[in-house]
Structure 1
């Protein structure tokens, strides 16, 4: 393995480790109640919505129906993993069997 590649891999590993350790150190100092705690709990959902929304808006009928199915799964289960699985399954079925 060339030295440049080895140095790049070691550098990326060091940066990844530093980010994770930094996150743990900062997390200990964050409040567990109040507005900031509420805000931090909602970040994952907001990021997921921001990643999915553009594809839903330009995706057409299959994406809209799959989003509706995923929403129903979420309302029934309140489980994000089940919601993602339901949306993916709905999209697969709509594309495979409904031709959308």
Structure 2
């Protein structure tokens, strides 16, 4: 399965409104998980089995909760049993079509 999620403090840590440090702590959890993942400006997507992916999401939420009394989580999942490597393959199929393939 693929899970795209965004987790951040609902309360900023300082007057600038920055949540970067808490988000970095969440991303650290994802990267240390060993699961395939990709982070962009809005979401982090990771791939794996249900229990392992959800454990990483929970760890990321816990990391943010350590810095904020309130946490915001947005999650979207693509559950497709029997498929792996879709973090890259889904994009490759679209790129192929765009290239005229």
User: Normalising by the residue count of structure 1, what TM-score does the alignment of the two structures yield?
Assistant: 0.30
Mark the structure with the bigger radius of gyration. Answer: 1
Q: Which has the higher contact order (CA 8 A, sep 6+)?
A: 2
Higher helix share: 1
